Amino acid sequence: MNLLITGVTIADPNSQFNQKTCDVRVEQGKITAIGNNLKPANKEEVFDGTGAILSPGFFDLNCSIGDPGFETKEDIETATRAAMSGGFTGLAVLPHTKPVVHSKGEVAYIINKAKGNLVDVLPVGAVSHDLEGKELAEMYDMQQSGAVAFSDGSKPITDDGFMSRALQYVKGFNGLMMVHPENKSIAGKSQINESKTSVLLGMKGVPALAEEMHISRDIFLATYHDAPLHISNITTAGSVALIKRAKKDGVKISCDVAAHYLVFTEELLNDFDSNYKVKPPLRGKSDTKALLNGLKDGTIDAVCSQHRPQEIEFKAVEFEIASYGIIALQTVLPLLIKAGLDAGQIAEKLSINPRKLLNLPVPVIAENAEANFTVYHPAKEWEYNTANNQSKSANSPLLNKKLTGKVQLVYNNKQLQAYG
């Protein structure tokens, strides 16, 4: 598919055309020309990019799909359709499937099933067999088969000795562990943030301490082993402060935050809407402010979707028994725009840094480069509804709401997808 995009503003800190308004030509999967007043060629599709941003394709570090085993929640086909609609050209998919992705067989299954897709689907292998936190999974074999990192998904690794051995093992072959920070003995069965809101709602709260103690432990272990470690889904001001200090001390630590924690706060739970039930829980306004500051000063390396599809019978129930999670692939961009991130910050946190963390090639908007990009209009309004929801599931509090920030084109693997 040959394509000419006219009058688009490029947002790519690694490109010599960063922040410039240009025409961009793509032929046979490569960017062949970037300039002004490029003339349309024969059999070339032309897209008017006036007012739009062209960024390296978005990449998600933290996506859950149901394939294999839970395809009624989401399968690879629907997940990649949702990803494209949200501007993502790459997904790192978590291992909490059935069977768990804890050997090279499951890794190969995902890679083979996702072949030929516009969206790169890259498996994250489990740290522990069956996510039980007791026996190390076949991490080296999984890496050799294509796993890009290792995680027990939304399950924290509670055993300190096991965590220490896992870090030591992964360091031996330059792997990366991504961990969910939760001290379960302190969090208990609580489901919302510990605060005035939890008191008013009459529910036992999860203190910020449960997240921060777990991160403190992991910082000590990463320091002891001099091993890289990635903290997924941070949500508190204290977590930002801990990681900032650790980075200053030279610890090889990185972290991400899901887009909804930058906009949603615990006050949204006053109506007990289970679509706002996430793990970790939504926090307070001071935490949201600290997370935004952490993104801007470089403490937080990346933004992710934390996409967690759930069937309606697991969400349309009382809050206390509802499952955790939000479908989020199609709404990350509007939330980042609402949070106040500019085009350069979005490219850095959603396109460049996620791939750097996984040692993947980073797309660059440059002549003769492989075309892997997203075009979006930051001011265009659209309604997210059941007609354009590409996920199999519908557990989003943003459905039937007007959002600002619309993906218009995605291009990768010599394939183009356009949206009206």
What tens digit of pLDDT does each residue of 265-297 get?
999 999 999 999 999 999 999 999 999 999 999
Same domain, 85 and 17: no
| Domain CATH number, residue 37 | 2.30.40.10
The answer to whether residue 234 sits within a structural domain is yes
Check: CB of residue 53 under 8 Å from CB of residue 378: yes
Q: Answer yes or no: do 134 and 188 share one domain.
A: yes
What's the rounded mean pLDDT across residues 342-361?
98
Same domain flag for 311 and 407: no
pLDDT tens, 11-65? 999 999 999 999 999 999 999 999 999 999 888 999 999 999 999 999 999 999 9
| Distance (Å, whole) CA 328 – CA 363 | 23
For residue 38, is it within any domain?
yes
Instruction: List CB contacts of 112: < 8 A, sequence separation 6 or more.
Output: none
Query: Residue 194 CB: number of other CB atoms within 10 A?
Result: 22
Q: Please give the full DSSP string across 140-172, using - where no structure is assigned.
A: HHHHHHT--EE--TTS----HHHHHHHHHHHHT
pLDDT of residue 42: 86
Q: Looking at the structure, tell me whether residues 259 and 327 fall in a common domain.
A: yes
- Asked if residue 362 is part of any domain, the answer here is no
What is the distance between the alpha carbons of residues 123 and 139, in angstroms, rounded to a whole number?
A: 12
Choosing from 319, 334, 357, the residue where a domain stops is 357
Domain match, 263 and 341 both: yes
Q: In terms of domains, do 286 and 265 share one? A: yes
**DSSP one-letter string for 331-343:** THHHHHHHHT--H
Indicate if 64 and 39 belong to the same structural domain. Answer: no
φ/ψ bin of 241: left (φ > 0), alpha (ψ from -120 to 50), beta (otherwise): alpha
Give the pLDDT confidence of 224-247 residue by residue, as tens digits. Answer: 999 999 999 999 999 999 999 999
CATH code for the domain of 180: 3.20.20.140
Q: Decide if 19 contacts 344 (C-beta within 8 A).
A: yes
Q: How high does pLDDT run on average in the chain?
A: 97
Structural domains of the chain, count: 2
Q: Is the dihedral of CA 64, 65, 67, 71 positive or negative?
A: positive
Last residue of a domain, one of 327, 357, 387: 357
What pLDDT is attached to residue 377? 98
Q: How far is CA 387 from CA 273, 277, 309, 392, 405, in A?
A: 22, 24, 17, 12, 18
Identify whether 353 is part of a domain.
yes
420 — pLDDT class (breaks 50, 70, 90): confident
CA distance 218 to 381: 42
Distance CA(400)–CA(295), nearest Å, equals 29
In the numeric block, the tokens 């028994």 are attached to 321
Q: Which domain holds residue 27?
A: 3-54+367-418
- For residue 46, what are the contacts with CB-CB under 8 A and spacing of at least 6? 3, 4, 5, 6, 40
Query: Looking at 42-46, 125-129, 292-296, 398-402, which range is the least confident one?
Result: 42-46
First to last CA, the chain: 18
Over range 181-207, report the average pLDDT: 93
Residue 1 has pLDDT above 90, yes or no: no
* Mean pLDDT, residues 176-184: 97
pLDDT at 313 over 90: yes
* Same domain membership, residue 372 and residue 268: no
Classify 87 in phi/psi space as left (phi over 0), alpha (psi -120 to 50) or beta. left
357, 383, 401 - which closes a domain: 357
Supply the pLDDT for residue 232: 98
Q: Are residues 279 and 258 in the same domain?
A: yes
Q: Summarize the confidence of residues 138-147 as an average pLDDT.
A: 97
Q: Same domain for 112 and 135? A: yes
Question: Could you tell me whether strands 88-93 and 58-63 are parallel, antiparallel, or unpaired per DSSP bridges?
Answer: parallel
Flag whether 173 is in a domain: yes
Answer yes or no: is 280 within a domain.
Answer: yes
The answer, as to whether pTM is greater than 0.85, is yes
Q: Are strands 3-10 and 53-56 parallel, antiparallel or unpaired?
A: parallel
Q: 48 and 119 share a domain?
A: no
One domain, residues 139 and 219: yes
In a domain, 22, yes or no: yes
Task: Return the pLDDT at 399.
Answer: 98
Which of helix, strand or coil describes residue 325? coil
